[in-house]
Amino acid sequence: MSDDKHLLQDTVRDLGKVLGETIQAQLGEQWLERIETVRIQGRKAFQGDNDSAIALQKLFAQLGDQDLLTLGRAFCQFLNLANIAEQEYNSAQTDIEPINKLFSELENLKLDSSNLASALEQLHIDLVLTAHPTEVSRRTLIHKYTELAQCLDRLHHSQLSEAERTSLQRRIADLIAQAWHTDEIRSERPTPVDEASWGFSVIENSLWQAVPEFIRELDDKIKKEYGLSLPIDSSPVRISSWMGGDRDGNPFVTAKVTQKVLLLARRRAASLFFSDVDRLQSELSMGECNDELRALAGDALEPYRLILRELREKLRITFKGLNAAVNDEESDPRQWIQTQQQLLEPLMLCYRSLHECGMGVIADGELLDCIRRVHCFGIHLLKLDIRQGSERHAEVFAELTEYLELGDYNSWSEEQKQQFLQQELSSKRPLFPANWQPSDDVQEVLDTCKVIAANSKDGFGIYIISMASLPSDVYAVQLLLQKMGINWAMPVAPLFETLDDLNNAADVMSLLFSQQEYLQRVDNKQFVMIGYSDSAKDAGALAASWAQYRSQEALVALAEQHNVELTLFHGRGGTIGRGGLPAYAAILSQPPGSLKGGFRVTEQGETIRYKFGVPELAKRSLNLYAGAILEAIMAPPPAPKPEWRELMDSMSADGRDNYRSIVRDDPQFVRYFRVATPELELGKLPLGSRPAKRKPDGGVESLRAIPWIFAWAQTRLVLPSWLGSMKAMQAAIDKGNRPLIDQMIENWPFFHSRLSMLDMVFSKADVSISEEYDKRLVPDELRYFGQALRDELEDSIKLINTLLKQESVMQNDPAGKDSMQLRAGYLQPLHYLQIELLDRVRKQPEDEVNHTLERAMMITIAGIAVGMRNTG
């Protein structure tokens, strides 16, 4: 790898030059000159040159809609290429893998091999792929971008002949031209099945290779340094998914969709394992084997090939049968591979024989990788979670109790609900009358349970209850699962999302854990999901993060008290824990003991591609997670001192009140939000299958957390991530608490990581850009609102620089700062372009649709999202 610190900038420049040549070939030299002028003015505007900003605004005002569309497409593509270059560059930075950092620090921690062995047993990383509507790039383009990144990798890190280098450069130009001549925006929203298929592709193209390589490299490190070895059935990484299972507020995820996604996942797994086994049977041509294998292979001269060919044939039949099932054709599931053991036994038979016959080096090659894939992915490829809102389960029982003339379930007290549900859980009689005809919505909930019952438990993860707040929410799902014929204990996880729910989480779980019947039913194992985005939307970032910490802390203590194995499931989004230091710091800032039950986290939208899109990046991300988790287990962060807690209580309460006084209480806020941001226009962008709002006619309170953050990121005010937080800290300092705050920054990872997150957020904020949106789009009588917010933002940035002892934001993270500045010259023009387009779109008569204008608008939204590197 080149040591040239300018390699990344040079790559971005070279890719931009190729794109420029592509545009010139289609549109002529005058267009290339115009684009270059805009880029230069954009860079100067970013550096504070007001004349350049004015020049951009004047130019865009003079251009026609089609010209604005062309400019938008150009700068959107420039930003995509910059991201690809950075992704490829980052994937090569193997010298800074956290796992290496961890091993180098173990001596300082005074920990021996027994400590590490114990921690490795607790190393469970469960990545939950979700289809939140933040991935703005089409799958068609993602495939091109992935190959482009691979070409760059070969170009930079391989010994190439001149002819090979020329060939690669030609292929890069080819891919960039393909991308330019492809529509950036989907013509239709992806379906839940489309989203699930995209998730499968991430596994096939990246994680399928990365996971066994990660395990192998980890095994080699612990063997070399500590004489330890990972068991052959070790699966420190598991892959789960919400794609096709998350029906919370998404009417398009139905029982039929879930069934189809389960079949498609199994079909993809059969295909991938077929390829692995086909390759193995080709390679394992040895004749010597142990007695166990000989007893099955008979007189075969090549016994391994015989066994593996039989397995390959079973996989072929399985794939063919699943393909028929997907297409609603007849198939006999009895002929399919139905259990993980059926897949594993022949592989393990070969593995044992090779080792016994002195061919361990062969056994521990491709064959071991395949075995580890079986343990990680299994015959179902991933584990599908089911998510549904608590009110949908309550509807089932409301209709049922009304039909049975027992009263209105929804009007019952919590005690009455619990009594009814617990009685029915203990009852052996059927719950649902044969002649009962529920509403369509209730039938859909029941049909979902039927799908779970009709499939293997190995294909499922957990059942998550959105907006859970009471024990009856959990009992209701357990009862539904039981009475619909699910004969295994599917884990049911309440999702505590709002501030009040987080604060009450331990009380709710305490009521459940106090029931011996409940603990027996769950086998003393419990998943609890912690909501990040919605709690921040409810109360602001500071109050939400402290509530999340305290909730986890209380749940860990409660689980220990009741001898329950607790797995906390983190519903993090792209704006928290995205890449590098923030993710590492986020894990290390968890309360002590919170990782004992494993680390389960959502990976959503565009962050899946940024962190796991290619094998090297995926391995680096897995190393990052593993290093942070092992360190947190072996050297847990300190519990906060009483005085730290007291100050956090006070600051978070102030932060909550500051935030809500604007977002909830100010009657002008909604009006300002709707005109100052492209929130209303976001609904036209076909990002994900799920609607942007939980209720079609609702206001800001019904807006999902992701588009809420997305809208503010577009205008660079990034308001949800900081509003009210630093103001609360300033109030604490005014009361004489600066020494205590300094102590917390220095000694408490949780508090330091909060400030690091804010530091990153502030690097993405741009007061001048936000002001330009207001000047053009906000009525005079509302402009005071934006000015007040920008004043608070500027005060907040000054304070964080003071607290972190830096002169400018991200000074202590130069790589992160350079990352944002890398795209600044391309990003700045898109904001001015979007402002012009928003003004034109909003001045159109309501009954007229200008498709060129609409498409240009969507492209600027997508481009800014790409440039910001995170949307929700």
CB distance 568 to 587 below 8 Å: no
Spatial separation of the C-alpha atoms in residues 250 and 572, rounded to whole Å: 19
DSSP state string for 208-220? HHHHHHHHHHHHH
CB distance 481 to 464 below 8 Å: no
Share of the chain above pLDDT 90, in %: 71
Residue type, 363: A
Of 44, 132, 380, 831, which residue is the catalytic one? 132
pLDDT digits (tens, 9 = 90+) for 104-137: 777 777 778 888 999 999 999 999 999 754 444 5
Write the DSSP symbol of residue 206: I
Among this protein's residues, is 132 annotated catalytic? yes
Residue 578 pLDDT exceeds 50: no
Mean pLDDT of the 349-363 span:
98
Spatial separation of the C-alpha atoms in residues 543 and 644, rounded to whole Å: 14
**Given pLDDT bands bounded at 50, 70 and 90, which one contains residue 190?**
confident
Residue that has been written with the tokens 């390959």 in this structure: 312
Structure tokens that stand for 387 in this block: 């998510």
Mean pLDDT of the 697-707 span:
57
Which of residues 74 and 705 earns the better pLDDT score? 74
Share of the chain above pLDDT 70, in %: 93
- Quote the pLDDT of residue 849: 80
- Quote the pLDDT of residue 572: 74
Q: Identify any residues that bridge with 495 across adjacent strands, giving them in sequence order.
A: 529
Q: What are phi and psi of 383, to 5 degrees?
A: -110, 120
What H or E segment, with its residue span, contains residue 384? strand 383-389
Buried-exposed string 373-386: b where 16+ CB fall within 10 A, e elsewhere: bbbbbbbbbbbbbb
CB distance 43 to 804 below 8 Å: no
Residue 702 pLDDT exceeds 90: no
Of 260, 380, 537, 752, which residue is the catalytic one? 537
- Quote the pLDDT of residue 807: 94
CB distance 492 to 481 below 8 Å: yes
CA-angle at 241, arms to 443 and 248, nearest 5°: 40
pTM greater than 0.95: no
pLDDT digits (tens, 9 = 90+) for 397-409: 999 999 999 999 9
> Mapping DSSP to helix (H, G, I), strand (E, B) and coil, where does residue 60 land?
helix
CB distance 727 to 658 below 8 Å: yes
- Quote the pLDDT of residue 461: 97
Residue 579 pLDDT exceeds 60: no
Among this protein's residues, is 752 annotated catalytic? no
